[in-house]
Amino acid sequence: MLDNLALGVATAVSPENLLWCFIGVALGTVIGMLPGLGSATGVALLLPVTLALEPVTALIMLAGIYYGCQYGASISSILISTPGDSSSVVLTLDGYQMARNGRAGAALAVSALSSFIAAIITIVGLMLLAAPIADLALRFGPPETLAVILLGLSTIVSFAGDNLLRGITMAAVGLLLSTVGIASGFTDARFTFGSLNLLSGLDFIAVLIGLFAIGEVLHQIHRGGEAPIRARFKDLVITRDDVRRMIPASLRGTGLGFALGVLPGAGATLATFMSYGLEGRVGKHRAELGTGAVEGVAAPEASNNAAANASFIPTLSLGIPGSGTTAVLLGAFVVFGLQPGPLLFEQQPALVWGLLVSFVIGNFMLLVLNLPLAPVFAQALRVPYSYLYPFILFISLLGAFAIGNNTFSLWVAFTAGVLGYFMKRFDFPAAPLVLGLVLGPLLERSLVQTSALGRGDLMIIFERPISAAFTVAAILAILAPVVLAAVRRRRAPGRARQSTPTA
């Protein structure tokens, strides 16, 4: 173990590898900031550039792009409510509110710090426990995945605003929209109405660019816009109190993200929603969630990064990608003539450990880059909205196109933008819809698989201990607040509506 670590350090700190690591994280930050261009696209686009490099150097750079993107995506979510990827949607809730409250700099700093905390903890976990965790993850079959997704969907409770039923309905709408196109389990093309473009479904990134970025711009115009933020410098920097509130939330987020990120395909998005939901249950300042609470930034951000790192566990120890981006990275392994698989740790110790050590270095670089830059980025909000919003629209639509180089995505984003505007204006929460849209394909696939494994009997979900436990938890999570609310309403009939903020 220590030998390997020493080997890894020796590999990672060579001047060339340090340089490319830096280039990777810096490029990743920029790519992450652009709407529509997530880490998977970023890695794929820059893969050809790295062909001339040593394999380990190239992989260090590509991985740098991956986690650099996580940092970058947070920046645009916080500043202009434009999530670059579905895993930074949750950040638009409290992060954007913090920015609107004049605390953009602090929000960015909290996001960078909690990302860093999560990254360091999970990298250590990755180094120590990769093999046993990977084996554990394999025990998660379709019924377990189905149960975890149900539990994830139950976190809608935290995003539904003051009308729980409407929140759940919006999640159902998201699930319904996710069924458009050909699903992997069937041959039917559903709800495509003869459209070729709809065969592969609605791209959820295009939808969320529309719902969040474009919808928010139009909603701002409707409301009369925000005054440009003239924050005092002391509001731009993170305070001792912020740090105190941030740490427990980041630790909870890290744990949840790490656990969910290991599951092949379950992913970072689920982790961010669930960790936000968790803060709504156990956080000390849960009443402030939605109004710009530090915890609402720290927890999802930590879980996002933790999940990204955890997705390397099945990737490196089994040769099975844990996320879309690690799938592209595995492709890069093959291009470099490396054989990903269970033997990688044994056959390529310098590469694997060099890569792992470079994660630490890269995250440190990102922290050093992001902390001092946070107040600087926050200055972007001083640009009068009259100039800022045309740029947001411009960049959002370009990003929507770049998802698949398909003009159809432009129309998806535009339509979702119109829809998002009306949803915001009339208080139909968008976050549950995104959750449904993202989880829909996974939910359906695990339903089909579970049904196939049970020869038509879905109740096998209760026959396996892990899936039974998660399913029961999901049912409780949905029912408990409903029952509690009913009880409370009966006690205080006049105060049926609470001022819970909306997504």
Partner 1 sequence: MRTSRATALAAMAAVTGLVLTACGEDSGGSTDGGSAAGPDGPVTMVVPFSAGGGSDLSGRAMASGLEEVTDSTVTVENITGGSGAVGYGQLLASAGDPSTLLASETSLVTLPIIQDVPYTYDQFTPIMKAGEDYNLVIAGGDSEWETCTDMVEAARDESLTAAVSGTTGPDAIAWTLIEQEESVELQRVPFESTAEVTAALLGDQVQVAAASPGEVIGQLESGDVKALCALAPERYEYEELADIPTGGEQGLDVTFAQWRGLVAAPELDEESTRFWVDAAEEWTTTDSYTEYIESNYLQPQTLFGEDFAEYLVQYDADARSALQP
Partner 2 sequence: MSGGPEGGAGADRAPVQVTATGVAGGGPTRADLVGTALLAVLGLAAAVYGWRYGFLVDGQVGAGFLPVATGGFIAVASTAEIVRMGLQRRATRADDHVRAPVGDERAAAVPTGQAAPDEELDVFGRTAAQRGRAIAVVFGLLGAALLLVPLIGLLLSLSLAVLVLVLVVERKGPVAAVASAAACLAFGWLVFVQVLGAPLPSGALGLV
Q: Which of residues 388-417 bind partner 1 (CB under 8 A)?
A: 404-406, 408
Contacted by 285, from partner 1, partner 2, none: CB < 5 to 8 Å by type: none
347 vs 386, which CB is nearer to partner 2?
386
The residue with tokens 């196939």 is 452
From the list 278, 328, 374, 397, which residue makes contact with partner 2 (rule: CB under 8 A)? Answer: 397
Q: Which of 9, 453, 466, 473 binds partner 1 (CB under 8 A)?
A: 453
Residue 216, CA distances (Å) to 74, 93, 404, 421 in order = 16, 12, 24, 7
Q: Please state, in angstroms and rounded to a whole number, the distance separating the CA atoms of residues 177 and 430.
A: 13
Which residues, in sequence order, are bridge partners of residue 181?
190
Q: Do 377 and 237 contact (CB within 8 A), yes or no?
A: no
Of residues 7, 129, 190, 373, which one binds partner 2 by CB under 8 A? 190
Q: Binding to partner 2 (CB under 8 A): which residues in 411-440? A: 411, 414, 417-418, 421-422, 424-428, 440
User: Closer CB to partner 1, residue 246 or residue 442?
Assistant: 442
Of 260-268, 273-281, 335-343, 447-455: span binding partner 2 (CB under 8 A): 447-455
Contacts of 407 (CB under 8 A, 6+ apart): 401
# residues near partner 1 by CB under 8 A: 59
Going by C-beta distance under 8 Å and a sequence separation of 6 or more, which residues neighbour residue 210? Answer: 396, 400, 412, 413, 414, 415, 416, 417, 418, 419, 420
Binding track over 345-384 against partner 1, x by CB under 8 A: ----------------------------------------
Per-residue burial over 24-52, b if 16 or more Cβ lie within 10 Å, else e, is bbbbbbebbbbbbbbbbbbbbebbeebee
Q: Which two tokens stand for residue 104?
A: 């953009």
Is 141 a binding residue for partner 2 by CB under 8 A? The answer is: no
Dihedral class, residue 193 (left if φ above 0, else alpha if ψ from -120 to 50, else beta): left
Judged by CB under 8 A, which stretch of 62-70, 108-116, 181-189, 241-249 contacts partner 2? Answer: 181-189
Smallest separation (angstroms) from partner 1 to the CB of 332: 8
Smaller CB distance to partner 2: residue 257 or 417?
417
**189 strand-pairing partners:** 182
Work out how close the CB of 30 gets to partner 2 at its nearest, in angstroms, rounded to a whole number: 8
Question: How many residues form the binding site for partner 2 (CB under 8 A)?
Answer: 82
Name residues contacting partner 1, limited to 167-186 (CB under 8 A).
181-182, 184-186
Q: What is the DSSP letter of 188?
A: P
With contacts defined by CB under 8 A, name the span among 31-39, 207-215, 227-235, 315-323 that binds partner 1.
Answer: 315-323
Binding residues among 483-502 for partner 2 as defined by CB under 8 A:
497, 499-502
- Please provide the size of the chain in residues: 503
Verify binding: residue 166, partner 2, rule CB under 8 A.
yes
The closest of 295, 183, 209, 192 to 246, measured between CA atoms, is 295
The helix or strand, by DSSP H or E, that contains position 290, with its residue range, turns out to be: none
CB of 331 to partner 1, least distance (A): 5
Give the integer Cα–Cα distance in Å for 167 and 428. Answer: 7
Contact 257, 118 (CB under 8 A): yes
Q: Which does 113 bind (CB under 5 to 8 A by kind): partner 1, partner 2, none?
A: none
Chain residues 202-221 in contact with partner 2, contact rule CB under 8 A: 214, 217-218, 221
Burial 425-450 (b: 16+ CB within 10 A, else e): eeebbbbbbbbbbbbbbbbbbbbbbb
* Cα 367 → chain centroid: 19
Candidate ranges 53-61, 325-333, 420-428, 467-475; the one touching partner 1 (CB under 8 A): 325-333
Amino acid occupying residue 380: A
Q: Tell which one of 4, 14, 101, 200 touches partner 1 (CB under 8 A).
A: 200
Stretch that binds partner 1, among 66-74, 136-144, 172-180, 355-363 (CB under 8 A): 136-144
CB of residue 404 to partner 1, shortest distance in Å: 4
Distance, in Å, from the CA atom of 452 to the CA atom of 450, rounded to the nearest integer, reads 5
Contact set with partner 1 (CB under 8 A): 40-41, 43-45, 47-49, 137-142, 181-182, 184-187, 189, 194, 196-200, 264-265, 314, 318-321, 327-328, 330-332, 334-335, 337, 339-344, 404-406, 408, 441, 445, 448-449, 452-453, 455
